[in-house]
Amino acid sequence: MKRPLLVFGTLLFGASTACGQSAPSSDQTEQVRMLLERIEKLERRVTELESKQAATPPPLSAATTAPVQPPSTQESTAPPVQAHQHDVQERQAAVQQMETHFPSLQVRGFGDVDFSATDQKGTTSGFNLGQLDLHLASALSRKVSYFGELTFNAQPTGYTVEVERSIVRYDYNDYFKLSFGRYHTPIGYWNTAFHHGAWLQTTIGRPEMVRIGGTFIPVHFVGFLVEGNIPSGGAGLSYNFGVGNGRGTTISRPGDAGDDNDNRAWVANIYSRPKRLYGLQLGASLYRDKITTAGGDFREWITAAHVVWTRETPEFLAEFANVNHRAVLTGLTTNSQAFYVQAGYRLPWFERTVKPYYRFEYTHTPLSEPVFTNQDLVESIVGLRYDISGYAAFKTEYRNAKRQAADPRVNGLFIQTDFTF
């Protein structure tokens, strides 16, 4: 690089000397210096462009896909810290792969195989194929996306197919996201953090208060939902607010085909994830609806609160909910309560694949409750999760449960292998 500059300068100097001048004038010297600087800048620019061109990979064709990298040891042994992050990752991956063309479908699946045996008379035991769960994600534009969830459940007479979630969402920014469809009601923590894939959660089953097909809280909701972050500095506040059909004629199901009355249900949820305490979440929820049953109309208020710590060393989950029903005709009011506390710890040995856990559950419904059947429950669960790989787990649990006061305690052994693909 320096040699051409030196030769060029020598030629200019020689030319000026050959013209009969003993030394170049000050003007000529300045011109030579400016020319040398300009040439040096141009050569540097050419070198930079050549290096950038060499470093840029050739464009990939539309059919070319990146190879899937195997997970590292730590990734392959630890389940997700928060299962609701799974949905976020799916949406982000879909958007990245669909930047150049819309729509493009991404499919993720979950499955499980179960075994159960209890000392309760009259109950069946043995193996059960469990549930096949499919997640469908597709970006329709840079700000509009679709997400769906289908489940196939084994029944004594065959299989049932259920549309668990079907959502079209518009992401305006981090503070405002609007979605329409059928989604999991944002009451408390578990119902939106862990969906139908059993692999996502630490335990084999969900707590009774948020059981799929249960009635204590409305697990599903049909309508629209607004969600986003709230500018709050290190408090990390976020919100959810939705309006929809609420419970259906069968109160364990939402009003998929329309509302039973002229009163829409609404739900509001606010929670905090402090930046300085990663893994901590605190939140509160409100739900309001009017329920129409054969026994009349009832106003329903649900209040709930939760505190969770999801670092896995330890893991701590706790939720409480109160369901208030007031008869429109008579004014009779009842309150039902439920809560659970779950703790687990991922052991540092065996490449962090082993995670023991314990959960205590309590549900109480008064005898005067007009909407629910009796749901009283006191249950303790001791279990162990072993991650076979980053995509499969083996779980075993011992359960001791008591329903009504006159019922005997029931002991049971439950085993499950679950996976994602």
pLDDT at 303: 98
Q: Which range (7-11, 186-190, 198-202) has the least confidence?
A: 7-11
Q: What secondary structure does DSSP assign to 30-82, as a single string?
A: HHHHHHHHHHHHHHHHHHHHHHHHHHSPPPPPTT--PPPPPPPHHHHHS--S-
pLDDT at 86: 58
Beta bridge mates, 76: none
Map tokens 């013209």 to a residue: 19
CA distance linking residue 419 with residue 409, whole number of Å: 32
pLDDT at 411: 97
Top-confidence range, 59-63, 306-310, 374-378, 407-411: 306-310
Q: What is the mean pLDDT of residues 332-345?
A: 97
Give kind and range of the element (H or E) at residue 248: none
- Topology (CATH level 3) of domain 77-420: Porin (2.40.160)
Tell me the per-residue pLDDT of 346-378, one tens digit each, with 9 for 90 and over: 999 999 999 999 999 999 999 999 999 889 999
Tell me the per-residue pLDDT of 372-420, one tens digit each, with 9 for 90 and over: 988 999 999 999 999 999 999 999 999 999 998 888 999 999 999 999 9
CA atoms within 13 A on the CB side of 222: 14
pTM: 0.76
Residue 76: pLDDT over 50: no
CA distance linking residue 32 with residue 17, whole number of Å: 14
Map tokens 């990390």 to a residue: 236
Beta bridge mates, 241: 226, 268
pLDDT at 51: 64
Residue 17: pLDDT over 70: no
CA distance linking residue 204 with residue 415, whole number of Å: 8
* DSSP alpha helix (H) spans, 220-318: none
Nearest CA-CA partner of 369 in 407, 410, 336: 336
Instruction: Answer yes or no: are the C-beta atoms of 412 and 124 closer than 8 Å.
Output: no
Question: What is the residue extent of each domain of the chain?
Answer: 1-17+26-46, 77-420
Top-confidence range, 15-19, 100-104, 237-241, 311-315: 237-241
CA 389 to chain centre: 20
Q: How confident is the model at residue 30 (pLDDT cuts 50, 70, 90)?
A: low
Q: How confident is the model at residue 90 (pLDDT cuts 50, 70, 90)?
A: low
CA distance linking residue 133 with residue 201, whole number of Å: 14
CA distance linking residue 207 with residue 360, whole number of Å: 9
Give kind and range of the element (H or E) at residue 92: helix 84-97
Is the dihedral angle over the CA atoms 195, 201, 205, 207 positive or is it negative? negative
pLDDT at 347: 97
